[in-house]
Every structure is written in C-alpha cells, then in structure tokens.
C-alpha cells in the first residue's frame, strides 16, 4: 500500500516537473492553435513578423532586467531609463542637429549615469535594490519630463520661442526601428547575453552571487563589482530599448518607456521556468516575451478591449511566479 502511494506521488511530481519545464512552450503552441482557428490571419507571415517586431523592445528591456535578476537584484527603473534615452536621442536630432553616432552616444551616456547611480546607492549605501530603483524610476521619469518640458519631441515641432525645430532625424537612424533590423537587433541581444551568462566566467559568477551571496564572497568573487556591472548592463539595455523605440516611432512621447516595464518584468519572470532553468536567463526571457506578444496580438485580433489585456498579462505573470517559487520551495 505504501509503495503504491509513493508511486502515485512520484508520478504527480513527474507531471509537475514536465509542466514546469515545458508549460510555457506548450501554452505558446496552444495559443497559436486557438488564435489561428479563431482567425486564420493570425498565422500569416505578415502577422508573425508583426508579433516579432512588437516584442523586440520588450525583449531588449527585459534582458536588462534579467541581468539584474541574475545577481538577485531587481531594476524597476528600466522603463524610465528607456523614456529618458528615447527623449535624448530624438532631441539630439531635432533640437541640436547632431549625427546618428552623437545622438545614440548621448542617450547611452545618460543611461550609464543612471546605472552608476543605482549601483552606487545599492552597493555602497546598502539601499534595497527594489526600493532604490522604484525611487529612481520616479526621479528619472521627472528628469525626462523636465528635459522635454512635458512635450512630445518630433521633427518640425514648435519651440518655446515660437520657431520650428530645424533638425532632421537621420535616415540611417530611422532604419533601426524597421523590419528586419529591429528583429535582428533583438536576436543579437538575446544571443549575446545568453552566451555571456551561460558560457563566460563572469556570467557564472553572477549566477553564483544570485544563488548565495555569502558563498560567493567566501569563494573570492568580487560581489560588489559584479553588482555594479549588472546594473550598468541593465541601464544599457533599457537605453537600447528606448533608442530602438525612438527609431520605430520617430518621436519622443511623454513617458514612452513606461508601458514596457510591466511586460518586461513579466517576460523576465516567465523565463525562469522555461525548459526548467529555474533562474533568470536570456532565452527564457525571449520565450516569455513571445508568449506575451502572442497573447496581446491574438486578443487584439479577437477584438478584446485593450483594458482587459492587463488582466490577462497579470494572470500569466502570477501563474509563472507561482510555478517558479513553488518549484524553488
């Protein structure tokens, strides 16, 4: 009798492990089938490309969050950093008539300043990362609004003195946000970060720090140095996301990066369970972004109200978190 009970328990845990490892991928294929049956246009090549394009910015920003999670951190300021980078890169063209290199360099420099500030306050002042980056999120958001004076920055905009902006956005820069380049940039980012976290000693050190910070210190790993690196990289990828967004829409809207925060966080956490990784990883984050992109695109094609989408995405995130933390327990 006891043997039968133990066999049943073993089978239950095997099923759970299977769902933990492959549940996200199975869900993606199930959604594709459901949405395709509801609307055959869903699986057309043009719509698949549209989904990949729509998740590109989310994936890039989520990769930054993934890196911060690898050291057991959490960067909530990425949406605001993307907004700031978006505003700076467009303003460099429109207000100051700068070239593509200068515009992108200015946006990245601003992001690195935010990343350096985050890492200093977390590592040296010992402020908990979630609380600190939450505060930074509002500060950077305010800086972006102050910089643009709460206005949308675009070509031929009216300046405060009543004249029109004379700067032109570079055609070269405009190509970054177009297909196939926006998708290629996303794929390159995912591959590079996957290789970095999985196959380099620096990535492995980050995972060790995220798993047990005291053990990492006792092993001689420079914990503070890698935490600084994690937050600098998080800010960098948030900036890249903001730059790609600027190229895609060719304007700098107010708080343009804010809507990407929730989707990026969801993608990063969903990625924990993909193929049973049990830790933040670039490929899992990409799969999480694909799941969110398919959900969003399919719901739009089914004419589901936009305000109901957050309910669905929040439910998916809650389910992913439940799977991840139950498994860890």
pLDDT in tens, 150-205: 999 999 999 888 899 999 999 999 999 999 999 999 999 999 999 999 999 999 99
No. of helices (H) and no. of strands (E), the chain:
13, 0
- Residue 328 above 70 pLDDT? no
Q: Would residue 163 be called left, alpha or beta, if left means φ above 0 and alpha means ψ between -120 and 50 degrees?
A: beta
Q: How confident is the model over 124-151, as pLDDT tens digits?
A: 999 999 999 999 999 999 999 999 999 9
pLDDT for 204-224, tens place per residue? 999 999 999 999 999 999 999
69-96 pLDDT, tens digit each: 999 999 999 999 999 999 999 999 999 9
Domain count, the chain: 1
Question: What CA–CA distance (Å, rounded) separates 155 from 169?
Answer: 7
Backbone φ, ψ for residue 219 (5° rounding): -80, -5
Between residues 302 and 136, the one the model is more confident about: 136
Tell me the mean pLDDT in the region 96-107.
96
Asked if residue 110 has pLDDT above 50, the reply is yes
Buried b (16+ CB within 10 A) or exposed e, 16-55: eeeebbebbeebbeebeeebeeeeeebeeeebeeebbbbb
**Cβ 316 vs Cβ 291: under 8 Å:** yes
C-alpha to C-alpha distance for 281 and 89, rounded to whole angstroms: 29
Do residues 78 and 134 touch, judged by C-beta distance below 8 A?
Answer: no
pLDDT score for 13: 53
Whether 234 contacts 115, CB under 8 Å:
yes
320-323: long-range contacts at Cβ-Cβ below 8 A with a sequence spacing of 24 or more? 320/24, 320/266, 320/269, 320/270, 320/272, 320/273, 320/288, 321/269, 323/19, 323/20, 323/23, 323/273
Residue 293, SS3? Answer: helix
Print the domain residue range for 62: 2-328
Dist. CA 91–CA 231, nearest whole Å: 25
**Taking the complete model, does pTM exceed 0.85, yes or no?**
yes
Mean pLDDT, the chain, integer: 91
Residue 309 has pLDDT above 50, yes or no: yes
- The SS3 of residue 40 is helix
Q: Tell me the average pLDDT across 44-59.
A: 96
Residue with tokens 């049990």: 278
Q: Which residue has the tokens 């193929």?
A: 275
Taking a C-beta distance cutoff of 8 angstroms, is the pair 54, 293 a contact?
A: yes
pLDDT, residue 8, reads: 47
For residues 300-305, give the mean pLDDT.
88
Looking at residue 146, which CATH number applies to its domain? 1.10.3470
The answer to whether the Cα torsion of 272, 313, 233, 322 is positive or negative is negative
Residue 325: pLDDT band with limits 50, 70, 90: low
> Tens digits of per-residue pLDDT, 251-290?
999 899 999 999 999 899 989 888 777 899 999 999 999 9
**pLDDT tier for residue 326 given thresholds of 50, 70 and 90:** low
pLDDT score, position 318: 78
Tokens 């590079």 belong to which residue?
192
Question: Which percentage of the chain shows pLDDT scores above 90?
Answer: 75
């Amino acid at each position: 009798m006891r043997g039968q009970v133990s066999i049943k328990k073993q089978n239950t845990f095997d099923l759970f492990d299977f769902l933990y490892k492959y549940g996200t991928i199975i869900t993606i294929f199930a959604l594709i089938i459901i949405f395709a049956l509801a609307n055959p246009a869903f699986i057309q090549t043009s719509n698949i490309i549209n989904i990949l394009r729509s998740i590109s910015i989310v994936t890039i920003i989520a990769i930054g969050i993934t890196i911060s999670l690898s050291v057991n951190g959490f960067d909530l300021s990425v949406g605001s950093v993307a907004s700031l980078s978006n505003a700076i890169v467009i303003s460099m063209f429109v207000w100051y008539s700068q070239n593509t290199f200068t515009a992108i360099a200015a946006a990245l420099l601003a992001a690195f300043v935010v990343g350096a500030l985050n890492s200093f306050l977390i590592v040296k002042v010992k402020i908990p990362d979630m609380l600190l980056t939450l505060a930074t999120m509002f500060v950077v958001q305010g800086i972006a609004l102050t910089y643009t004076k709460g206005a949308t920055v675009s070509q031929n905009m009216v300046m405060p003195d009543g004249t029109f902006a004379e700067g032109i956005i570079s055609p070269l820069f405009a190509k970054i946000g177009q297909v196939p380049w926006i998708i290629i940039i996303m794929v390159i980012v995912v591959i590079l970060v996957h290789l970095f976290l999985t196959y380099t000693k620096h990535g492995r050190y980050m995972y060790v720090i995220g798993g047990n910070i005291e053990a990492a210190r006792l092993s001689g790993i420079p914990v503070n140095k890698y935490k600084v690196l994690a937050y600098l990289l998080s800010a960098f990828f948030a900036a890249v996301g903001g730059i790609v967004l600027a190229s895609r829409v060719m304007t700098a809207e107010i708080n343009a990066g804010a809507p990407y925060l929730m989707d990026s966080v969801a993608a990063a956490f969903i990625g924990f369970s993909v193929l049973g990784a049990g830790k933040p990883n670039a490929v899992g984050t990409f799969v999480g972004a694909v799941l969110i992109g398919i959900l969003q695109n399919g719901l739009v094609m089914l004419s589901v109200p936009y305000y109901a989408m957050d309910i669905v995405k929040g439910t998916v995130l809650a389910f992913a978190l439940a799977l991840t933390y139950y498994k860890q327990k």
